[in-house]
Structure 1
Amino acid sequence: MNAEGNPQVRKLFDETRRRLVETGTRNRLVHVNRANTRGAVVNIVNERSDDVYPILASGKTMRFRALGKDKHEQGEILLADDTGEAETFDENRYTDNLLESPLGPDALAKKLLKIARDARTAEEEQGVNILYLALGFVTWFEDEKSDIRREAPLVLLPVELVRNQRTSTYDIRMRGEDIITNLPLQQRWQDDFGLVLPELEIGEDWQPSQYFEEVEGIVEERDRWKIDWNAIQLGFFSFSKLLMYRDLDIDLWPDSALETHKLVKGLLYEGFEGDDDAIFGEEDKLDDVLPPDRIFHVVDADASQARVIEEARSGRNLVVQGPPGTGKSQTIANIIAAAAQEGKTVLFVAEKMAALEVVHDRLVKVGLADICLELHSRSANKRQVLEELKRTLNAGAAVPAIPARPEALQYSRDKLNAIAQALHSPIGDTG
């Protein structure tokens, strides 16, 4: 079956992509109801994007200031754009290190505590940060007749909440990750309106207003569409599935490389070959097939694990199942080490960050830290990756000592096997 030009294969990819990403208005990146503050969000008032960004981008920490009163008491909140109040508004509030919220002190503290906990849990489980400070919101409509007002963030700063030991509250600081624009909104506008939301090009003196001007040039001909440059909200936004959505667009791959790849064909519509070329037969003894000089195990492995390692080394496709505690992470560590020893490159991915950390820790403990490059979570920013590459390249200048052939190991193994064989051999005709 040839995948090229096959409508069934294209349909299969399209259905898979639709299941991956939500570009509908249930996605907070496509529509945020900023008036609804019951969720894990904090709206920021009396601030300007062009003043907040340089403070956070410089590495400084900002604190939150509660303007309202708790228990639904009526507080007098002074907003910068309130009619008739501009004369009494102190513009120094724009450039201080405080982010003002209309919440009361207790409500703000509780909300920040919940957001900090949820952000930590998400990062521990998924290995990615999904907490952002959104700068600038665009108001848009799904069609000319629609009365339903949609709002979506434009610039997203990756941030984290850090505990202030002095005040027992949470402060905010920017993480060392890339600033990103709204990818799901970019996809939605491209699909529905043919509008291309520009990419972010951040230079040394970049300001969010420069990007907002670009977007305004794109939406200015749309009736009722507008941008609030200084609308700011702290909240959760997830991009991970959209990146997979783009990767699975078969039109983006040159020469039909994706749908004609042997792994993709095997998984989706051709299946994999049978076990005719299996390395091990059912009656084979592992020690007869695998001499010690062919084995490359950096952590302990039993016979069943050794079979899996050798199957993977031979390039076969396989699924390994087993309950917790049966040595799957040990087996993966051995597979990675063996592949690296053969000059191969391995990409190890897992749904949970804990699974990545277990395998990484095993490799580090046996002295293989230099073959590992972490590309997730806090280690996924460019500066740390480049520093790690530099350190590893420098370490590669040293030539390690080559161990001798494992003759002593083979002797000990054969001796133990001989004892086992003697114990299981029948004595004469006794049965």
Structure 2
Amino acid sequence: MIDRIAAGSEIALSDLATSFDTAILSGLDEAEIGEIHLAVTLGGREVLRETRPVELLARDEWGGLAEMDNILAAFVSPNHPQVARLLKEAGRLLEAAGHSGSMEGYLSKDPQRVWMIAGAIWSAATGLGLTYAVPPASFEQNGQKIRDPERIVAEGLATCLDSTLLLAAAYEAAGLNTAVLFSRDHAWLGVWLVPEDFGKLVEHDVVALRKAVAARDFLAIETTLLTRRPSIGFEQAVEVGRECLAEAKEAEFEQAVDINRARAARIRPLASHREAEAAEESADHGAPAALPRPLDLGRLPGEISDESPTTALGRIERWQRKLLDLSLANRLLNFRETRLSLPLLCPDVAGLEDRLADGDSLRMLALLDENAVAGRDLAPEEARRIGEDLARDALLKGQIAVSLTQREMAGRLTELYRKARSDVAEGGTNTLFLAIGFLRWKRVESDPKSYRAPLLLMPVKLERRSAQSEFRLGMLEDEIRINATLLELLKRDFELRIPELEGDLPRDDNGLDIARILEIFRRRIRDVAGFEIVEETALSTFSFAKFLMWKDLVDRTDQLRESGLVRHLVDSPTEVFAGATEPMPRPRDLDERHAPADLLTPLPADSSQLAAVLAAAEGAISC
């Protein structure tokens, strides 16, 4: 009851708590459509009536990413009795193989141990003998009914989401952080080998997932393989799960729901109000898959034990190692085509560099729209030669051939243009480069996968007269740089130095001598198995910020140690810094100690900030 509302005013109704009949709601086996009636009366006379529909979901029904993405964690039940039985079986498998059967989460601080726990739980789950059930169409957006662990074990059926949530519950019960991954019409699981999460409840960026996978911090697991017979091993499930995140399937990726972050947001598991059903022993329960082999941690960052060094040289080398990213997540070592890259077809890379160095501005030609080989019965080699002839002719006419359609090329150019402008505005440095020449390389000769690393990076710019105009590519007034990160990788991991390219690069009358540089690379890697130089070009963005910091630390170590704070961190980090004993200057004394004309700084909102800056400059404190 509201006594009075003045004309033109508003009253917010705060006491709108609604009591629900939990007995009715928990008994819903199917969704029902109801209505909410709203009536407003004035002096006993009804002046307004509205009716709104409301859908009551069954208690085991999830509403999908479109409506209830954050509520998904409520269907992960780590305290379910069937999950406890699964962990017990996993512990037994570990003990049988000579490992500790403890489900200890991250207590060991050893990713190898977490890998074995995750693999043992997978092996135990394969012993359930599950059969795959087809989910409803577009379930990831519209939702579906979800089988809890009791029903999964009793019925022996599971959709991709059912098996994913079952495994997520087991991993959570074992103390591991998980995320449920969604693509179009599919769900699978991610688990962290380190005590991390994505820092947000919902992660939409598939690149963030790929980086975590490349760093071997995060595993993507294809859970539908739990329904295969004979049982599929954990390593294969991880490999298939990783492929679901590949660039070729990037357009299908929807999002990841971080279960650990959901728990922090107080999204707790749904309570079960029914008595546990006795699971019938099924004749088709299979033998569990074998435990996984120890994880090959390789040489990637974060996988090497980071023991605290005891010497000054060791501390400096650790800083250098942390700054220099020699992992496969670094696009300077493992370049892959994405929407932020443009594959160019240029049979004459030296001629392309000469034209750009001379100041030419080149247009783009969408080669796939030329239809030069459409409807012709040509051998692949002949079709390739025709494409190269078209690209060579295009370069003579001031065009660069792009191996895409006009529509896709325009979309990628627009994204590159915006990304490059944003990077300059935010960081003050250009990140748009033309990659000239690539090294195809392998970590070991027997590695089935090869990687591509750009050799030379020409700073370029994209320009257009208006939003409807075509883009033109030109060179910035900056030096072409060698991929120094690649040179460092070759030196550290393959004991291969290329001294001819560590200083000034060979030049000709039109800039760099591209042909000479590529020939030097070819000669140096000729005897290295799995290495090959390819004259390919691509337009993309690259970042050198950490490499430049690393180079500064390598080249200017002695000069940096002239700072008292740096010297303390290098030589005696376990002792109290001498400057820490000095009292912080009082803000009101700053004008007496420093002339305002000597302070080239904007006036801070809090003068204590300026006091801290001046104290740090004098070496009094570390802040």
TM-score bracket for this pair, using the shorter chain length: 0.5 to 0.7
Q: For the residues of structure 2 that align with 1:78 and 1:253, how far apart are their CA atoms?
A: 62
Q: For the residues of structure 2 that align with 1:292 and 1:84, how far apart are their CA atoms?
A: 74
User: Among 322, 331, 334, which residue is 1:28 paired with?
Assistant: 331
1:145 is the counterpart of 2:465:
no
Distance 1:8 1:306, change over 3 A: closer
Q: For the residues of structure 1 that align with 2:420 and 2:565, how far apart are their CA atoms?
A: 35
**1:40–1:235 CA contact under 8 A, matched in 2:** yes
**What residue number does 1:233 align with?**
538
**What residue number does 1:134 align with?**
435
1:374-415 CA-to-partner distances (Å, cap 9, x unmatched) read: xxxxxxxxxxxxxxxxxxxxxxxxxxxxxxxxxxxxxxxxxx
User: Among 400, 404, 419, which residue is 1:103 paired with?
Assistant: 404
**What residue number does 2:565 align with?**
263
Q: For the residues of structure 1 that align with 2:376 and 2:432, how far apart are their CA atoms?
A: 27
**What residue number does 1:217 align with?**
523
1:115 is the counterpart of 2:416:
yes
1:45 is the counterpart of 2:345:
yes
**2:506–2:517 CA contact under 8 A, matched in 1:** no
Map 1:276-425 onto structure 2 (within 5 A). 280=585, 286=589, 290=592, 296=598, 304=607, 308=611, 311=614, 315-318=618-621
Q: For the residues of structure 1 that align with 2:449 and 2:545, how far apart are their CA atoms?
A: 28
Distance 1:319 1:162, change over 3 A: farther
% of aligned pairs identical? 22
Q: AA paired with 1:23? A: L
Q: AA paired with 1:39? A: R
**1:52–1:95 CA contact under 8 A, matched in 2:** no
1:265-298 CA-to-partner distances (Å, cap 9, x unmatched) read: 334614433576658569xx649x7299786467
**2:584–2:611 CA contact under 8 A, matched in 1:** no
Measured after TM superposition, the shift of residue 246 of structure 1 is 2.9
**What residue number does 2:553 align with?**
248
**1:47–1:93 CA contact under 8 A, matched in 2:** no
**What residue number does 1:203 align with?**
507
What SS does the corresponding residue of 1:173 show, helix, strand or coil? strand
**1:286–1:303 CA contact under 8 A, matched in 2:** no
Distance 1:118 1:77, change over 3 A: farther
Which has the bigger relative contact order, CA under 8 A and spacing at least 6? 1
What SS does the corresponding residue of 1:83 show, helix, strand or coil? helix
Distance 1:314 1:141, change over 3 A: closer
Measured after TM superposition, the shift of residue 124 of structure 1 is 1.6
Measured after TM superposition, the shift of residue 263 of structure 1 is 2.3
**1:21–1:241 CA contact under 8 A, matched in 2:** yes
Map 1:152-163 onto structure 2 (within 5 A). 152-163=453-464
Q: AA paired with 1:9? A: A
Q: For the residues of structure 2 that align with 1:290 and 1:310, how far apart are their CA atoms?
A: 16
Q: Which runs of 5+ in 1 are unaligned?
A: 1-5, 321-431
Q: For the residues of structure 2 that align with 1:222 and 1:7, how far apart are their CA atoms?
A: 36
Q: Which runs of 5+ in 2 are unaligned?
A: 1-308
- TM-score, scaled relative to structure 1: 0.60
Measured after TM superposition, the shift of residue 94 of structure 1 is 3.6
**1:140–1:224 CA contact under 8 A, matched in 2:** yes
Q: AA paired with 2:382? A: T
Q: For the residues of structure 1 that align with 2:409 and 2:461, how far apart are their CA atoms?
A: 16
Q: AA paired with 2:361? A: T
Q: For the residues of structure 1 that align with 2:532 and 2:594, how far apart are their CA atoms?
A: 70
**What residue number does 1:56 align with?**
356
**What residue number does 2:82 align with?**
none
Q: For the residues of structure 1 that align with 2:451 and 2:606, how far apart are their CA atoms?
A: 59
**2:439–2:455 CA contact under 8 A, matched in 1:** yes
**What residue number does 2:366 align with?**
66
Q: For the residues of structure 1 that align with 2:481 and 2:594, how far apart are their CA atoms?
A: 51
Measured after TM superposition, the shift of residue 57 of structure 1 is 0.6
1:336-377 CA-to-partner distances (Å, cap 9, x unmatched) read: xxxxxxxxxxxxxxxxxxxxxxxxxxxxxxxxxxxxxxxxxx
Q: For the residues of structure 1 that align with 2:384 and 2:616, how far apart are their CA atoms?
A: 72
Q: For the residues of structure 1 that align with 2:367 and 2:576, how far apart are their CA atoms?
A: 62
Q: AA paired with 1:27? A: N
Q: For the residues of structure 1 that align with 2:594 and 2:489, how far apart are their CA atoms?
A: 57
Count of aligned pairs between the two proteins: 302
**1:29–1:153 CA contact under 8 A, matched in 2:** yes
Q: AA paired with 1:51? A: G
1:18 is the counterpart of 2:321:
yes
**1:68–1:77 CA contact under 8 A, matched in 2:** no
Q: AA paired with 2:524? A: I
Q: For the residues of structure 2 that align with 1:154 and 1:117, how far apart are their CA atoms?
A: 25
Distance 1:55 1:189, change over 3 A: same
1:200-258 CA-to-partner distances (Å, cap 9, x unmatched) read: 525352331110011111011123422112x1100112222112223334xx557x555
What SS does the corresponding residue of 2:464 show, helix, strand or coil? strand
Measured after TM superposition, the shift of residue 76 of structure 1 is 7.3
Measured after TM superposition, the shift of residue 134 of structure 1 is 0.6
Q: For the residues of structure 1 that align with 2:443 and 2:603, how far apart are their CA atoms?
A: 59
Q: For the residues of structure 1 that align with 2:410 and 2:326, how far apart are their CA atoms?
A: 32
- TM-score, scaled relative to structure 2: 0.43
What SS does the corresponding residue of 2:322 show, helix, strand or coil? helix
Distance 1:77 1:181, change over 3 A: farther
Distance 1:93 1:130, change over 3 A: same
Distance 1:12 1:82, change over 3 A: same
Q: For the residues of structure 1 that align with 2:546 and 2:613, how far apart are their CA atoms?
A: 33
1:125 is the counterpart of 2:426:
yes
Q: For the residues of structure 2 that align with 1:76 and 1:212, how far apart are their CA atoms?
A: 37
**2:344–2:400 CA contact under 8 A, matched in 1:** yes
**1:47–1:100 CA contact under 8 A, matched in 2:** no
Q: For the residues of structure 1 that align with 2:453 and 2:617, how far apart are their CA atoms?
A: 49
User: Among 474, 482, 492, which residue is 1:191 paired with?
Assistant: 492
Measured after TM superposition, the shift of residue 156 of structure 1 is 0.8
Q: For the residues of structure 1 that align with 2:566 and 2:431, how far apart are their CA atoms?
A: 30
> Which structure: larger Rg?
2
Distance 1:66 1:302, change over 3 A: closer
Measured after TM superposition, the shift of residue 160 of structure 1 is 1.1
Q: For the residues of structure 2 that align with 1:132 and 1:78, how far apart are their CA atoms?
A: 37
